[in-house]
Amino acid sequence: MPLPQEKYYSVDDFYNLPDDTPAELINGRIVYMATPSSKHQIISSELHFAINSYIKSKNGRCRVLAAPFGVQLRKEEDTVLQPDISVICNTEKITPKCCVGAPDWIIEIVSPSNPGHDYITKLGLYHEAGVREYWIVDAQREYIHVYDLITGDLKIHTFHDTVKAGIYEDLYIDFSSLSLDV
């Protein structure tokens, strides 16, 4: 007896899902996501504000976009991810629907229901696509994994540390000063 075949979904199929569907498209397969917790949203808001404020203070050209916002890592592929935070310095990659091409910096806040998705699946996809820097913020363990995907370096910090953003010379985020309490 043959195994049942999973349905293949295109990028167009993905964008035809209802707008409020928390999902990603990975290699033609829809992956549904859990609704983020309030702590997740607080961390995302604090980081988005800190990064955006820094860029504006420097009259920078990069854009900071928060989920839900699609990132289609390669135009020809059937994968659209929804990183918690994307920093895109080549704004020509931003279309009305998504970012087409690798952002410069991505931050994911770990979902307790599926940590392997951020630590393994997305790490590999982002590395292959040419994302320069990838942060995994683990709210439960209070760790930040900072991957320099160009050199392969990994640094691990805690929520008590000040963390340097590798794509900027002088952007430091002091996690101990962020208002992360629920």
Contact 55, 82 (CB under 8 A): no
Q: What pTM was estimated for this model as a whole?
A: 0.93
pLDDT attached to residue 75 = 84
pLDDT in tens, the chain (182 residues): 555 557 899 999 999 999 888 999 999 999 999 889 999 999 999 999 999 999 999 999 999 999 999 999 988 889 999 999 999 999 999 999 999 999 999 999 998 888 888 999 999 999 999 999 999 999 999 999 999 999 999 999 999 999 999 999 999 999 999 877 76
With left for phi above 0 and alpha for psi between -120 and 50, is residue 101 left, alpha or beta? left
Question: Nearest-5° angle of CA 106, CA 151, CA 45?
Answer: 20
pLDDT attached to residue 2 = 57
Give the DSSP letter of residue 94.
B
Residue 4: Cβ within 10 Å count: 6
In angstroms, rounded to a whole number, what is the distance separating the alpha carbons of residues 58 and 73?
27
pLDDT attached to residue 179 = 79
Q: Is 154 helix (H, G, I), strand (E, B) or coil?
A: strand
Give the DSSP letter of residue 89.
S
Residue 143: Cβ within 10 Å count: 16
Pair of tokens at residue 171: 């952007």
pLDDT attached to residue 7 = 87
